[in-house]
Amino acid sequence: MDAQNLQENLYDFETSKLLKELGFDEECRDYYSADEDDCGTMPNLEGVNWNQNVNFISAPTWWQVKQWLWEKHKINIEITFAKSSSKMRDYRKFVWFIYVDGFWKNEFSDKQEFDSPVTAEIEGIKQAVEYKFKELKK
């Protein structure tokens, strides 16, 4: 995987900050500086829990976050087709659904449609992190 693809597969700085506050404790090769969205990597390391250090924020991949959400919070993100139509043509898009403990969270019913299932899944995972953060702050 080249550096550009690796960067695209990492979660953004703002989502990574929320994850740190939620207690994300998985090991990551990549990290952000705590005061700016400058991303770094430690290629010789298997992984470090950068969130244990006040100067760093772990920069996980979307797949790590999806697994963590399920294992720690029983939040699952599903991707499915959304049949869309326009006057010009019919086409298929993808949407995401969030389930918590097996129950669909319908407050996300006005979500966007995406051309790619991967893009839809990444956005769904981001929304799940934001949902969990709001729940924590209640």
Read off the pLDDT of residues 24-33 as tens digits, 9 standing for 90 and up. Answer: 999 988 888 8
Closest CA to 38 of 65, 24, 64, 57: 57
- Predicted pLDDT of residue 83: 65
> Which positions ≥6 away from 42 have C-beta within 8 Å?
29, 30, 31, 48
Range of lowest pLDDT (17-26, 32-41, 74-83, 97-106): 32-41
Where along the chain do its domains lie?
3-60, 67-137
The pLDDT of residue 46 is above 50: yes
Q: Which residues contact 3 (CB under 8 A, 6 or more apart)?
A: none
The secondary element (H helix, E strand) that includes residue 129 is helix 117-137
Mean pLDDT score across all residues of the chain:
80
Q: How far apart are CA 61 and CA 43, in angstroms?
A: 15
